[in-house]
Structure 1
Amino acid sequence: MKYRTNLLSLLLFFTAFITYGQHLVKGKVTDESGAALPGATVLLDQQGTTTDSNGYYEFENVSSGQHQVVVSYIGFKTQERQISLQRSRNNLDFVLIEDSTQLQEVEITGRRNTTYKNEVSFAATKTATPIKDTPQAISYVTKEVMADQQAYRVNDIMKNISGANLFSYYDDFTFRGFRSGETLINGLRVVGLFGPQPILANIERVEVIKGPASAMFGNSIPGGIMNRVTKKPLAEDRKAINFTLGSFNTLRTTMDFTGAVNENETLLYRLNLAYENSDSFRTLQEFKSWMIAPSISFLPTDKTRINFDLVLTNFDGKLDRGQPIFGATAGTDLNSTPISFAIAQTNDYQRTDVNYATISLNHTFNDQLSFNASYMRYLFDEDLLEHRTSNQFAIDGNGDPIPTLMGMQVINRQRELLADNLSTYFVYKANTGGLEHKVVAGVDYIEQRQPAGGGQARARGYRTVDGGVTTNTSNPDILLKDENGIPVPNVPHFNLQNPQYTVAQLSDYEFDQGSFTPTRYYSYGVYIQDQIRWNDWQFLIGGRQEFYTDVNKADQPDELKTQQQKFLPRVGVVYTLNPALNLYGTYTESFQPQGVAAQNNPNNGGPFDPLSGQMVEFGAKGEFFNGLLAANLAVYQIDNKNILVNANDPLNPELLRQRGAERSKGAEVDINGRILPNFTLTANYAYNVAEITESDNEEEVGRIKENAPQHQGGLFGKYTIQGGALDGLAITGGTNFVTERNTFAEELQLPGYMLVDAGLSYRVDKFNISLLVNNLLDQTHWVGGYDYVRLFPGAPRNYLLSVGYSF
């Protein structure tokens, strides 16, 4: 018996000795959104396994010491980790990042990631280039940020972009202190609208390519250019429906469906739908809009990809020209009228249709050569009736301004604007010695036109003693006066102290009738670019020859053409300091001809010289936390000449003048991505000094430009609780700030502000409910402004509550 006991003890000893140092290694493999990746390959040294349907893997009986773990999955970057096992149970999770190297050169199939971080920009170099390897600052906002901030229109997301500031309520911004002029959709130019804010329901991300982009896109301003990337089809089935209600009688719904049509996934579809019916904190303002946006991708072979987008959008509301305050003679009290105060009449309207279609082709001939082509037709149709200011106050019998009465005008306008874009280019990849080349060579054609058939009726000015109407108030004696000696306006003055909103009778006004002169501009651009890689260095060398033609009285016997051309260079360098950090520098130029209206309007003092700018920029771009978080730093100087501004001539409100030169210099930081698997973040900061350096008016020299704050920034984050009773609950919140800004009125400055937003969301199974309170502390603020008669206040405290279902 004793013998058997000793033998059993010996066996237990040897078993313990053999198993000593054996460990369990397990974990989960997900993408950046937290979604499981089933079937991912996990290698531990030479031992391999795959993840199960929920993304989990496990290795048993792993010995102590150092080991290498490698995780790979088709379409994602492979990850490697060195581990040292000291505990019996070891949890090792992996978050894989989508691999941009498998993307086509034009954006045809959709972005699979669902995160605040974006890896690649197609527009910046016309190739699928990682943002980290692009020698120019690119800020962006992904659809995931838009969803968490419950953003519906493009103005809602501008706070997430460093160096970007609202100028007004319209599709109207400043980038690095320069007012925006052109917008791209999928890298193609659209009509520069001064009207409804674009809806975001079909937008994958919004990019702002900082600084001059003329070397890629032709005429553009020096501060930057916005590119809106539409959602493209995915091979996997995704369907989502969302309903939102909130302050100001807000009611919205959006739908997003995508997937494969056939079994072999050569035909993919996506359908985005949106509808809104809401009011505003602004008097009489309302938003009624709908969108239908189907998209189809056809992949007949592994060498050919075709995508077709169609977007139909309708807006029905009023054009908000901003808040007027009492005039300069009454001081600069921004609170002399409430922020809800607007000038309009009950029967005003703005009805617009914005429709565009895009077709894109990518064909790969071989490993070295591919061809890319994109075409867009863009149409804008407007029917407008508005009561708005005449940009000046009423006058008394001596011709002096009355700061509590606003001069008025009425505009009734119908017009159509069209744009055509064709972009074609080849991409050739080759090696010469130790150099890797990616050469882009192509031709672009851009045309925008206002065809015959548009017209406008305008009522303004004062009645004269002889029964006429005049806008010339320099001689008060010819003006008809009322019993109080006040000149009688053609359109009644608007009383800022006692506003009256009525159904205006247009028959009471004397209108000037006129048709719009048919106009168009077209531009050819021929360009070549080489992206060179040598060891840790990357070089971008390119140039574009632009041929620009403005046409007034298009297709008429007395057609008038104005032609300009310019060569636009671009040079950049990127140095890989280490796997996580790149350093870069760039030089590029901008070219922006003045518009045909400015060139040929006899009332505004034209024609005018084109804008011309240059930029030098240096920076660093890094990826941290295993590539989950991107951080970019840029410092720059931009010089620009020949900006057009209003001359502020009371006798001729249309008169323009050109400044000699302006300079913008500063620094920007953008951060996007994840710090933890359950903590996402977007943050930005910009320091900018944008000032007038040369002017015929010596008093302007040294003055800071309009709507160009010296400091601005913000952050927004989402923390999701994982596990326990609160599993699925997320806390969202953020803040953004803007310092003081000048307006076109030298004595009027907009104050700085800081806003706080906070919210909660809860996801259970396929349902998600979100509550977000914007401007939590109810700060009165102004997001932009022109002068005393057109200021643009921000919304007071408001809430949005949404319920979504994904399936």
Structure 2
Amino acid sequence: MVTSPGDEEQEIVVTGEQEGYSVPDASTATRTDTPLRDIPQSTQVVPRQVIEDRQITRISDAVRNVSGVTVQREYGDYSDAYNIRGFTTYDTLRNGFQGFSTIVPSNNIERVEVLKGPASILYGQFEPGGVVHYITKQPLSEPYYAAEFTAGSYDYYSPSIDFSGSLTGDRKLLYRLNTAYTSSDSFVDFVERDVFSISPTLTYRFSDATTLALSYDYIQSDGVHYDGFAPDPRFFQAPINRFTGEPDGNDDETERHEINLTFLHRFNDNLEFRSNFAVSIDRSNNSIFRPRGLEDDGRTVIRSYERNLFNDNDIYTLQNNLIAKFNTGAIAPQLLLGFDWSEDTQENVNLFLDDGEVASLDLFDPIYGTPIPTQLNGTDAEFESRIETHAIYLQDQLTLLPNLKLLVGGRYDFVDNRTITQSYRGENILSTDDITDESFYDEAFSPRIGIVYQPIEPISLYASYSRSFAPNNARTASGTPIEQMHPFSTAMTTGG
């Protein structure tokens, strides 16, 4: 308020936007919206503002903003993996569900949460280093329309649209549609990739207390498969743009479908029930000429050939969560009770041509044109697996004092795992010893306890203990399963 002698009072209003890089809450560590300062485990959030300001188109690049995490391009650059605290993980979360490591465009991602340390207490089978969680955009009640076009080096271009709003006058039925197309070449000769994605979402509000949301995500990626160089330092004498495959023989195709159905009902301010069902379907195949090494002359590239006829992976997941808050005076518990079921099936067939049976390539003066082999003499492999998991978990978030928070919980997993493998040449099974049909049953308890002390407002000190779990699929050098092996489990104690 500004005044001067003889003047009437004048009101000055100052407006501004909230800091876009600061995200106070996250849900990955607890499956509830919890202030980051109250979580006894390191959690970092990359918000949408960072994604937009950095003009990120492949969401794994956003994770480069997170300390202790490195991005690994896998399988010819059409898949992403993450190394978190020294552990490599190929699995991610998408809206709370386990997802695939294929390329994820950024146009439909609202934020990325990275939980460091074991995540098995809530999500089951994960590496102990941590987990990367993609959270997608949700429908808006107000009309929103955006279109973008991005262009860059190596013939990169990417148009995208993002539309949202209400489909009914009472704003009960909301929608959002994201779609994008990306085409790009590479600094490596002949390498190119096209990625198309579309993500429609519908949310219906039965009332202020009850909602039902349905989302679908489709991603298609086609490109020239690039394996880089073999682990031989002599390769690095070649130009950086050298391609050691075949321009017309190295290709990969991937299609991914994800369907999520979420039901939410709030009985009152202190009790809510959430049920989620998800289907993830991944289909891929490839044809690859791979560099295996160099001859003694230091320039003749030894190559092999591999054809993945198909790699089918289907995941079905059901999650049921009940969240209850209690007002019991100074201590305010918040309980999470959950039940999970999932079925993960995978089947693939790989055909091989042995090293030395493929035409070599001059590293410094390459002549391409080797045709795709029609007769493969290598030892081929067929693999089938089915993993069914049931789990129950309980978590309690306690406020002991205004500046002292306690988090305790545990999860029990029951896992059935069946794996069938066989080796053969052409249509001939090598021997009955090369066919295995094994079933495993694992159980594991994953506990977690953590405490947070906040001596002053901007500082949180925490200590935690947690354990991760993953079924053990260990095999001998000949491929025979080792039945005596216990589930892979890692305990971790951290503080900060």
TM-score, normalised with respect to structure 1: 0.55
Q: Which residue of 2 aligns with 1:198?
A: 104
Report the residue type matching 1:245 in the other structure. Answer: A
Q: Is the 8 A contact 2:63 2:112 kept in 1?
A: no
Which of 467, 478, 487 is the matching residue for 1:602?
478
SS at structure 2 position matched to 1:577: coil
Which of 134, 143, 152 is the matching residue for 2:39?
134
Q: Which residue of 2 aligns with 1:618?
A: 495
Report the residue type matching 1:183 in the other structure. Answer: T
Q: Which residue of 1 aligns with 2:455?
A: 577
SS at structure 2 position matched to 1:365: strand
Q: Is the 8 A contact 1:323 1:341 kept in 2?
A: no
Distance 2:215 2:418 in 1: 30
Counterpart check, 1:149 vs 2:149: no
Task: Give deviations 1:302-339, integer Å, cap 9, x for gaps.
Answer: 111221110111111022212347x3xxxx46741232
Report the residue type matching 1:344 in the other structure. Answer: G
Change (3 A) 1:350 1:575: same
Counterpart check, 1:422 vs 2:327: no
Q: Which residue of 1 aligns with 2:255?
A: 353
Which of 79, 90, 93 is the matching residue for 1:181?
90
Counterpart check, 1:449 vs 2:345: yes
Counterpart check, 1:373 vs 2:283: no
Report the residue type matching 1:443 in the other structure. Answer: F
How far residue 503 of structure 1 moved from its aligned partner, in angstroms, is 5.1
SS at structure 1 position matched to 2:60: helix
Task: Give deviations 1:328-363, integer Å, cap 9, x for gaps.
Answer: xxxx46741232223211112101101111111111
Q: Is the 8 A contact 2:229 2:291 kept in 1?
A: no
Counterpart check, 1:165 vs 2:70: yes
Alignment of 1:302-701 (within 5 A): 302-324=208-230, 327=232, 332=233, 335-347=236-248, 348-390=250-292, 392-394=293-295, 403-413=298-308, 414-451=310-347, 454-461=348-355, 489-502=356-369, 504-507=371-374, 510-512=376-378, 514=380, 516-536=382-402, 537-553=404-420, 559-595=437-473, 598-599=474-475, 602-603=478-479, 610-619=487-496
Distance 1:609 1:499 in 2: 49
Q: Is the 8 A contact 1:490 1:510 kept in 2?
A: no
SS at structure 2 position matched to 1:432: coil
Change (3 A) 1:522 1:602: farther
Alignment of 1:683-762 (within 5 A): none
Report the residue type matching 2:41 in the other structure. Answer: Q
How far residue 403 of structure 1 moved from its aligned partner, in angstroms, is 4.4
Change (3 A) 1:323 1:128: same
Q: Which residue of 2 aligns with 1:759?
A: none
Q: Is the 8 A contact 1:591 1:613 kept in 2?
A: yes
Task: Give deviations 1:7-62, integer Å, cap 9, x for gaps.
Answer: xxxxxxxxxx99479864412334427xxxxxxxxxxxxxxxxxxxxxxxxxxxxx
Distance 2:4 2:276 in 1: 66
How far residue 240 of structure 1 moved from its aligned partner, in angstroms, is 0.8
Report the residue type matching 2:246 in the other structure. Answer: Q
Distance 1:25 1:184 in 2: 49
Report the residue type matching 2:273 in the other structure. Answer: F
Task: Give deviations 1:496-536, integer Å, cap 9, x for gaps.
Answer: 233233252423x5334746232111222211000111332
Q: Is the 8 A contact 1:324 1:342 kept in 2?
A: no
Change (3 A) 1:344 1:334: closer
Q: Which residue of 1 aligns with 2:118?
A: 212
SS at structure 2 position matched to 1:140: strand
Q: Is the 8 A contact 2:436 2:480 kept in 1?
A: no
Report the residue type matching 2:49 in the other structure. Answer: E
Change (3 A) 1:158 1:559: same
Q: Which residue of 2 aligns with 1:276?
A: 182
Distance 1:558 1:504 in 2: 34
Q: Is the 8 A contact 1:189 1:446 kept in 2?
A: no
Report the residue type matching 1:251 in the other structure. Answer: Y
Q: Which residue of 2 aligns with 1:32?
A: 18
Q: Is the 8 A contact 1:551 1:559 kept in 2?
A: yes
Distance 1:199 1:253 in 2: 12
Identity in percent? 26
How far residue 286 of structure 1 moved from its aligned partner, in angstroms, is 0.6
SS at structure 1 position matched to 2:188: coil
Distance 2:57 2:215 in 1: 20
How far residue 585 of structure 1 moved from its aligned partner, in angstroms, is 2.1
Change (3 A) 1:338 1:592: farther
How far residue 606 of structure 1 moved from its aligned partner, in angstroms, is 5.5
Report the residue type matching 1:570 in the other structure. Answer: R
Q: Is the 8 A contact 2:229 2:235 kept in 1?
A: no
Distance 2:265 2:93 in 1: 23
Distance 1:207 1:134 in 2: 13
Q: Which residue of 2 aligns with 1:697?
A: none
Unaligned runs of 5+ in 2: 422-434
Report the residue type matching 2:142 in the other structure. Answer: E
Q: Which residue of 2 aligns with 1:260?
A: 166
Q: Is the 8 A contact 1:181 1:220 kept in 2?
A: no
SS at structure 1 position matched to 2:332: strand
Distance 2:300 2:479 in 1: 26
Q: Which residue of 2 aligns with 1:96?
A: none
Distance 1:302 1:22 in 2: 45
Report the residue type matching 2:113 in the other structure. Answer: E
Greater C-alpha radius of gyration: 1
Distance 2:341 2:487 in 1: 20
Distance 1:222 1:167 in 2: 17
Report the residue type matching 2:420 in the other structure. Answer: K
Q: Which residue of 1 aligns with 2:127?
A: 221
Over aligned residues, Cα RMSD in angstroms? 2.6
Report the residue type matching 1:523 in the other structure. Answer: T
Change (3 A) 1:166 1:422: same
TM-score, normalised with respect to structure 2: 0.88
Change (3 A) 1:503 1:203: farther
Report the residue type matching 2:13 in the other structure. Answer: G
How far residue 577 of structure 1 moved from its aligned partner, in angstroms, is 2.7
How far residue 220 of structure 1 moved from its aligned partner, in angstroms, is 1.0
